[in-house]
Amino acid sequence: MTQDNALKKNVAGLWAGVFQALAYVAPAATAASFFVVEAGVAGGSVPLTFILATLGVASAMYMNYEFSKRISHAGGYYSYVSAGLGGRLGAFTGWLYYINVLGALTGFSVLFFAGVLWPLVPGLSAMAYGWIPLAFIPIVLIFSLLYFGLKPSLYYTMIGAVIEIVFVLAVSLLIIFSPNTHNTISPFTTMGNSFGNLGLATVYAILGFVGLGSVITISEELHNPKKIVPKAIVLALVIGAVVYIFSSYAFVVGWGVNDMSGFASATNPGFTVVGNYLGPIAMAIFIVITLNSFISNGIAEGNAFSRIGFALSRDKILFPGSMSEVHKATGSPRKMILFEGVLVTVISIAGGVIFGPFTGAAVITTLNGACLYIVHVFANISLPVYGRKTLKYSARKWLPFLLGPLPATAVYAFAVFGVFSPLPAYPINIASYGVILFVVVGLILAVYVGLKRSRADVKTIGLQGAEQVLEEA
């Protein structure tokens, strides 16, 4: 590895890592978007799906926690899979991981942003494609910050995430303890939902936590990453779970547990709930914070996206090695960032034109969510293999590597099951077929890598770079 493709070291510390994760999680933006989608599937059981998701994600973060103490690599999960299961499956999961973050950035940060803002802008709201100029707001802001390096983007996300989390929690508590609120335990029950419906709703709930592990993709650039990254993962998980459980419950009881079909079909119902309880000023603040949450989320996703693309290029998977060139002053992989900016723009506009911004976002995020769950399953399996094969652990030390991720594997399999059974109605079913297509493409890529590269070269996939160090805990 040459200096031209070495990421800048010691850019930031613990709290930058925590808020990289929380900005990616984007609780305000999730409340304004995924709560609506979940309500359409699971009705008033939205808080229950977040509890299920929390349990699954906590188990999944065990895998992140253990691997991040030993491996620092911009490729994140695909590096973890390579470490335990080999380079070919590393290439397979690298492909799916890249598709996942591409989908998250286009579907959530761009299309949901445009869809939320569109009805609020006079003139544009009456135009069939009035959302398109609004979609360029996050695209331009996100990729401009990414272009000038990691540090400016991390500072932006830190400030925005602190304001967002404090506001969402405060608003939720005020709604819950309002004398006008009819509090009930029913949102924490199934409320008559089928197994399949809860599975699909769990897909969206887990998507609300997606990004907790994104700090691993900037691990090469943090101070002492093998200590900072595990701590950042734990802190971000606890904060994110508290915010989601409280806010989802507050919005359900604030709207009305028995009228969640109305919540699911309303335009920006979260804004309506806040306005009804706390007045127009609080609603206006929530709107601004939510819009910024989409942008902060996009910046955090962009940090991960550009680093995964950089790592794939460094490993000469999907992209030529020249795409991993790093700018000497800023430390950013500018060629990759420019390419990804164009890619995100094209997919965002195409998806929005075909389906509309909200439906387009739902299709894309369902697809990218399922791809991520598959990646997590492979990473969870990789951990015990890595512990036995590489670390040579005894049964006592190895058993947690096997059992720790097991609940997450079950929950993620449950979530993937929800994408296919029952098969969603059109156009969400396109996501189900898309998952199959991308898995097939990934398998072809894995076979191609195995045939075209030497065994020694395949072993280096996910392990390249001086920043990548394998060591026993």
From CA 242, how far away is CA 246, in angstroms rounded?
6
Coil vs helix vs strand at 407: helix
Q: Which residue has the tokens 């819950």?
A: 176
Tell me what the mean pLDDT of segment 117-141 comes to. Answer: 94
Q: Locate 6 and state its tokens.
A: 């070495």
Which stretches does DSSP call E strand in 312-439?
none
**Residue 4 has what pLDDT?**
66
Mean pLDDT across the chain: 91
- Structural contact between residues 201 and 410, judged by C-beta atoms closer than 8 angstroms: no
At position 31, the amino acid (one-letter code) is A
Angle at 437 between CA 434 and CA 440, to 5 degrees: 150
At position 453, the amino acid (one-letter code) is R
Q: What are phi and psi of 325, to 5 degrees?
A: -60, 135
34-91 pLDDT, tens digit per residue, is 788 788 888 898 999 998 888 878 888 999 999 999 999 999 999 999 999 999 999 9
Phi-psi group of 251: left, alpha or beta (phi > 0 → left; psi -120 to 50 → alpha; rest → beta)? alpha
- Structural contact between residues 299 and 32, judged by C-beta atoms closer than 8 angstroms: no
Q: What is the pTM of this model?
A: 0.88
- CATH class label, 3-459: mainly alpha
From CA 220, how far away is CA 238, in angstroms rounded?
24
Tell me what the mean pLDDT of segment 388-405 comes to. Answer: 94
From CA 74, how far away is CA 70, in angstroms rounded?
13
